[in-house]
């Protein structure tokens, strides 16, 4: 058969930042791409793909997408986890890409076709202080974006999640070992409600405001914050507590009507099954790359739809343009998909992954090329460019390690 998988390549590269990309090629030359980037742990997933998954794919029928997923998930015996699920996700996305190219259809057409004309997105505004933050908020509004995530410095702290000294924030890449940040919850809780209220005052009612707490609070602290910012009318508060404790959200929920978003570190439907079926969140943030690809995300989103929860996937710079493409195609074809995060990329990343998806009038569009509509510029994917780059860790003032 001419359409079986013949070649499996795992590209580890650093066009401005580290990415792991899977490239599958069939005997008749159709190429499918998948993103397998796990920020700060790139080589582990590359080895999983090269050493264990790749050899099993050679000679396999790329059209049996669900069967390959089950083979790689159930067949391995060991379950879940970010490394294994990113590898499965990369294979899944590459197979969908191949199917699109073989049938000449953009992916969204194979996923049921458009349910909306354009996909809502949000951009990041960051600033150490309010004037700097408002400047970025205004810039995004002028560029046509209606939904903005706001992150700001905290008095007394030197480094804070989501903020950098320059205009662009990059979570990883600050050296060969993780940077250690100091965290102080009381200072944060005293400061942030006033900042969010001031941003609301500045932008008026028509802008969606989002804020990422990045897993820093206990349930009762999260409940207090949610309640304090109710007058701001937030689009959402994100990751208020460490996400693996699903029951914690019940307490938060009992105290506040501020919408809650969670799930960027989840890998499977079983990580969010209680959260969704008990309606403890409003938005589920699983990403194509980290939660088993398009096939598995569709199941999570279907469960969410039944329970009135909306999809809003993770989309920072460490989710490559390949994954972002998959998410945009899925978003344009999924009824309960609310919004796609789009942090943006350095120019070199756009050049390394030429893509049909694009921003138009403050919204995302998948483009109409067959499959994902993303290709690779091989010259910009040099394995020698890879450098270890870790996400930071955080300690409380007394030195206790806490959630970053």
Q: How far apart are CA 106 and CA 333, in angstroms?
A: 11
CB of 391 to ligand GCO, least distance (A): 6
Q: What is the DSSP string of 370-391?
A: SBT-B---GGG--GGG------
Q: How far apart are CA 290 and CA 266, in angstroms?
A: 7
Residues 345/321, Cβ–Cβ less than 8 Å: yes
* Residue 235 appears among annotated catalytic residues: no
Residue 132's φ and ψ, nearest 5 degrees, are -65, -40
Q: Does 264 bind ligand GCO (CB under 6 A)?
A: yes
CB of 306 to ligand GCO, least distance (A): 25
> Which among 18-26, 126-134, 314-322, 325-333 is the span making contact with ligand GCO, rule CB under 6 A?
314-322
Please name the residues in contact with 377: beta carbons below 8 A apart, sequence gap of 6 or more.
351, 352, 353, 354
Q: Does 92 bind Mg ion (CB under 5 A)?
A: no
Residues 371/344, Cβ–Cβ less than 8 Å: no
Residues 189/404, Cβ–Cβ less than 8 Å: no
* Residue 214 appears among annotated catalytic residues: yes
Can you tell me which of 316, 321, 366, 371 binds ligand GCO, judged by CB under 6 A?
316
Measured CA distances, 227 to 37, 193, 341 (Å): 36, 10, 24
> Which among 196-204, 274-282, 312-320, 364-372 is the span making contact with ligand GCO, rule CB under 6 A?
312-320
What tokens does 324 get?
């972002």
CB of 361 to Mg ion, least distance (A): 25
Q: Does 212 bind Mg ion (CB under 5 A)?
A: yes
CB-wise, 63 or 392, nearer to ligand GCO? 392
Q: Does 391 bind ligand GCO (CB under 6 A)?
A: yes
Region of residue 233 (left: phi > 0; alpha: psi -120 to 50; beta: else) = left
Q: Does 321 bind ligand GCO (CB under 6 A)?
A: no
Q: Which does 146 bind (CB under 5 to 8 A by kind): ligand GCO, Mg ion, none?
A: none
Q: Does 32 bind ligand GCO (CB under 6 A)?
A: no
Q: How far apart are CA 397 and CA 347, in angstroms?
A: 38
Q: Does 341 bind Mg ion (CB under 5 A)?
A: no
3-state SS assignment for residue 140: helix
What tokens does 376 get?
């690779």
What tokens does 373 get?
């509509």
DSSP class of 40: T
CB of 134 to ligand GCO, least distance (A): 21
Catalytic residue among 124, 140, 211, 214, which?
214
Q: Does 139 bind ligand GCO (CB under 6 A)?
A: no
Can you tell me which of 212, 271, 282, 369 binds ligand GCO, judged by CB under 6 A?
212
Q: Which does 171 bind (CB under 5 to 8 A by kind): ligand GCO, Mg ion, none?
A: ligand GCO
Catalytic residues: 161, 214
Binding site for ligand GCO (CB under 6 A): 39, 171, 212, 214, 264, 314, 316, 318, 341, 343, 391
């Amino acid at each position: 058969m001419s359409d079986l998988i013949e070649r499996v390549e795992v590209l580890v590269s650093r066009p401005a930042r580290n990415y792991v990309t899977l490239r599958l090629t069939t005997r008749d030359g159709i190429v499918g791409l998948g993103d397998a980037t796990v920020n700060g742990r790139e080589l582990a997933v590359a080895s999983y793909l090269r050493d264990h998954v790749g050899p099993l794919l050679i000679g396999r029928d790329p059209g049996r997408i669900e069967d390959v997923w089950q083979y790689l998930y159930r067949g391995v015996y060991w379950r879940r986890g970010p490394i294994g699920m990113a590898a499965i996700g990369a294979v899944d996305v590459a197979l969908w890409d191949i199917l699109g190219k073989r049938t000449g259809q953009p992916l969204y057409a194979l996923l049921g076709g458009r349910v909306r004309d354009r996909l809502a997105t949000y951009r990041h505004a960051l600033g150490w202080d309010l004037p700097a933050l408002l400047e970025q908020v205004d810039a995004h509004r002028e560029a046509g974006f209606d939904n903005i995530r706001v992150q700001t410095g905290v008095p007394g702290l030197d480094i804070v999640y989501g903020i950098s000294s320059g205009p662009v924030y990059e979570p990883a890449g600050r050296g060969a070992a993780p940077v250690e940040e100091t965290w102080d919850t009381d200072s944060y809780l005293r400061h942030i409600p006033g900042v969010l209220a001031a941003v609301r005052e500045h932008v008026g009612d028509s802008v969606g405001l989002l804020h990422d707490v990045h897993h820093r609070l206990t349930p009762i602290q999260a409940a207090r914050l949610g309640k304090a910012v109710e007058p701001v009318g937030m689009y959402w508060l994100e990751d208020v507590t460490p996400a693996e404790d699903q029951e914690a959200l019940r307490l938060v929920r009992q105290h506040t009507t501020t919408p809650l978003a969670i799930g960027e570190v989840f890998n499977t439907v079983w990580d969010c099954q209680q959260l969704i079926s008990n309606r403890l969140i409003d938005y589920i943030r699983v990403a194509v790359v980290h939660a088993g690809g398009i096939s598995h995300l569709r199941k999570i989103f279907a469960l969410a739809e039944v329970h009135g929860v909306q999809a809003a996937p993770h989309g920072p710079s460490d989710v490559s343009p390949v994954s972002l493409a998959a998410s945009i195609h899925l978003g344009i074809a999924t009824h309960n998909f609310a919004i796609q995060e789009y942090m943006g990329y350095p120019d070199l990343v756009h050049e390394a992954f030429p893509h049909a998806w694009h921003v138009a009038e403050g919204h995302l569009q998948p483009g109409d090329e067959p499959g994902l509509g993303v290709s690779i510029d091989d010259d910009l994917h040099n394995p020698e460019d890879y450098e270890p780059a870790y996400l930071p860790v955080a300690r409380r003032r007394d030195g206790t390690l806490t959630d970053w």
